[in-house]
Structure 1
Amino acid sequence: MDDEVRELNLTIDLCLRIGEVLLSSGAGAADVTATMQSVAHHLGLRRPDTDVTFTGLSMSYQRSPEEPPIVLLRQVKQRDIDYDILTRVDHLVRDVLAGRLDLFLARSQMATIVSVPRSRRRWAITLGWGVMCAAVAFFLGGNVVVAGTAFLAAAAIDRLQLLMSRRRLPTFYLQVAGGFVATLFAVGVASTDLPADPSLVVTANIIMLLAGIGFMGAIQDALTGFYVTSGARIIEAMMATAGIIAGVSGGLSVGALFGVSVGRFDPGRMLDVEGLAIVVVGSAVAAAAFAFSSYAPRRSLAPIALIASGATAIHALVIAQDIGRTWAAGLAAFFVGLVAYAVAGRVRVPPLVVAVSAIVPLLPGLSIYRGLSLLADGGSGTSMGLLAMITAASVAIALASGVILGEYVAQPLKKEARRLEDRLAGPRLVGPLRAKGRPR
């Protein structure tokens, strides 16, 4: 093998490794494609063919029509969310494109990034999930008992899912277990005389379980023309959500066997404008705790908290005007997308880290639990339960599409974004803004 072919193989392999980290971290297929194309172009590959699917990446390059193409494939492994690795890879890509790293230094740094121990202790991540659920319980109107129970349930869910994932169980079963454990904690509270609303415990933990689902990547892929990858991600999101529903309904059934009712949460309680301060502070803490649990760099936690608090305030005020939950979620997410790009640039993280974390408090855990409790009642509540489930789906779509629309508007407003080179990729949530080497 001559030196030119060897360097070509190393270049393609680097691009595939970068793409694997981005795709497994929730980046859209368009962003992954554009990033891989940009790195390849900078390292001397003109117009390589790149294919991105949900479970695999491929890149091929043909030096001349007389020679066979070189094709490399890489399987995308399922990873836990790690925004620290995503941020480091994003910085590596920018250094390569700026000429600060050559091929061999970039490969060395890439190997270091994916092999070094994670930046936080695992017990700290468990505490982070607990703080997140406790904060959600507070801004939904819960007291100290509810927040404490939600904290303990979140810690138990995280540890159980960690144990199950080490045994390579599919995500569906992890979600079933999470929903079941959350409901059992709520049933335990309901069986006592403690002054607490156990339904808030379930709702808070549902939001925790929803937080890791890649709704945004699925919608972004659908909007940018990567329909196969979008379809796969949507199916994954549906299976994960179905697991939550199955687990919660199973827990409710156990409670019914013992004559214990968890109850149904009244969604109007969290929309009281007089309690807006609690909602804003609680959502800020929840978003920052999620970012912390996802290994986001510490410098990004405070900005994420501020953006989440602003988005939640918009959401609550819009709902107070009887406009509807879906439009309220969409407008709040649009605000997140609008400011995430500028804020992410200042704290040196990909906009994806800021956007996903900031919309966590707005995830439709309330609608899912309300729908399940209505379906469990049967009779006339069945139709209302189905409507609540449809509302949950529409809220999830509104959140993802609202963030992406905000990015569409925000990026061209930046001076360095006046001439977007690749309209197919749409707003860039990760990777370089300017994509080079794309075939026209």
Structure 2
Amino acid sequence: MADSPEVAHVVDLSLRIGEMLLSSGAGAADVTATMHSVAFHMGLRNPIVDVTFTSMSMSYQSDEDVPLVMIRQVKERDIDYEDLSRVDQLVRDILADRVSLAEARTVVARLSSSGHHRNRWLVTAALGLMAGGVALMLGGNPQVCGIAFLAAASIDRLQKYMATFRLPMFYLQVAGGALATSFAVAAAAADIDVDPSKVVTANIILLLSGIGFMGGLQDALTGFYVTAGARMTEAFLSTAGIIAGVSGGLTLGTVLGVSVGQFEPGASDLATVAVTGLGAAICAAAFAFASYSPKRVLVPIGLVAWFAIVIATYIEQAGFGRTWAVASAAFFIGLVAYGVSGRVRVPPLVIVVSTMVPLLPGLSIYRGLSLLSEGEHVGQGLLAVMTAASVAIALASGVILGEYVAQPVRREARKMEKRLAGPRLVGPLRARAKR
């Protein structure tokens, strides 16, 4: 490719695609590989791509022209699986020569400037349904599920309102954690026949669902340490906001003489396991809907989440502990995500993250915070918080291991590439140069 304007257009297209993928939740390894695939297919050999948490750059120099360097900043980061799926499909169309360079640039510009067809109030309702599913998964009665629904919907509207003032995520998480605990304290004070701790736990999982634990660990395991450090720092601050908000709410309840109590779950029969699986399926499907996933993926996501929570429940009951149980379920998710995503035509990332949400360690965090707030069981509280951290790591590492196993199996079945380049959650597995 000798035409300098066309080179600039290819570099700009690759950067815009990478920006949309990174801002929608993709990992740095996937973004880098996708940008390389698009540039290589368009005729650029050996471009230099650098991706960090807030910016990305791409440079190219031919034998005759001066070096060309372009940089784009990632100003907004939100889980948006509609844009992610559309950009992923655009990349596949580019590599299959179904769209030209000019058409691809037009499509990217339209995607980046257009909103969503899904009404925002439907997203709020889906987040409420997600919290209700978590409450059902924890064994809550209809009253608990209803209060969890109302609390989650209120948290979403409050955070959306606070976001208009451009407040950092930390303060939004503090407000969300405090509001969730306030609903639980009010329910306990009103002497309603509910377990308030289940309301708190359900909404902690709601607040945790948008935190990029897995993305940070994936970046670390694939060699993007700067991006991994930034993602994990953001996740740590967001989690600290939840801790501050929930701790404040629990302390306020103690001052007012209202205790939300401790929660000890357990599933001892098939009926309970079935209900737990149903709650997990509702939670995962609702999260996917709230993240603007295509409607065709909701049922498959619910089924995978059901199987995953059943696997985790039985392994934990067998005496292997919560961490190994969650790791096994996460491995299952990573193993089947590629096959399921191919059937429903979405990136595997959509399946992976949505089905992991019911496994997030909301219960361990609640236990740790409630014990620490009492001041008499600090050791047990710290142990519960460490358990939550180990569960989060088990989730990420289990899923990534499943991807490492599933990718070569898929590669051999379809004969798409000659060697494993790392876990790919977005983008093509191989690029061909345009002829």
In structure 2, the partner of 1:413 is: 409
Per-residue Cα deviation, 1:238-267 (whole angstroms, up to 9, x for no partner)? 111111000100111111121111111113
1:149 paired to 2:147: yes
> For the Cα contact (< 8 Å) 1:119–1:295, is it kept in 2?
no
SS at match of 2:92: helix
> For the Cα contact (< 8 Å) 1:15–1:40, is it kept in 2?
yes
Distance 1:408 1:370 in 2: 33
In structure 1, the partner of 2:314 is: 317
> For the Cα contact (< 8 Å) 1:319–1:325, is it kept in 2?
yes
Letter in 2 for 1:386: L
In structure 2, the partner of 1:4 is: 3
SS at match of 1:19: helix
1:354 paired to 2:351: yes
SS at match of 2:72: strand
SS at match of 1:50: strand
> For the Cα contact (< 8 Å) 2:417–2:430, is it kept in 1?
yes
Distance 1:213 1:271 in 2: 31
Equivalent position to 1:395, from 391, 394, 397: 391
Distance 1:421 1:215 in 2: 30
1:432 paired to 2:428: yes
TM-score (norm 1): 0.95
Report deviation, 1:354. 0.3
Aligned CA-pair RMSD: 1.6
In structure 2, the partner of 1:140 is: 138
Label 1:418 to 1:401 Cα distance change in 2 as closer, same or farther (>3 A).
farther
Distance 1:421 1:75 in 2: 34
In structure 1, the partner of 2:187 is: 189
SS at match of 1:204: helix
After superposition, residues 271-420 of structure 1 pair within 5 angstroms as: 273-379=270-376, 381-414=377-410, 415=412, 418=415, 420=417
> For the Cα contact (< 8 Å) 2:211–2:238, is it kept in 1?
yes
Letter in 1 for 2:249: G
> For the Cα contact (< 8 Å) 1:417–1:433, is it kept in 2?
no
Report deviation, 1:167. 1.4
Report deviation, 1:287. 0.3
Distance 2:291 2:268 in 1: 28
Report deviation, 1:80. 2.5
Structure 1 spans left out of the alignment, 5+ residues: none
Label 1:236 to 1:345 Cα distance change in 2 as closer, same or farther (>3 A).
same
SS at match of 2:319: coil
Indicate the percent of aligned positions where both proteins have the same amino acid: 62
In structure 2, the partner of 1:75 is: 73
> For the Cα contact (< 8 Å) 1:336–1:406, is it kept in 2?
yes
> For the Cα contact (< 8 Å) 1:271–1:319, is it kept in 2?
no
In structure 2, the partner of 1:216 is: 214
Distance 2:326 2:68 in 1: 46
In structure 2, the partner of 1:90 is: 88
In structure 1, the partner of 2:46 is: 47
Structure 2 spans left out of the alignment, 5+ residues: none
Distance 2:235 2:360 in 1: 13
In structure 1, the partner of 2:27 is: 28
Report deviation, 1:413. 1.0
Stretch moving more, 195-204 or 114-123: 114-123
Report deviation, 1:435. 5.1
Distance 2:136 2:116 in 1: 30
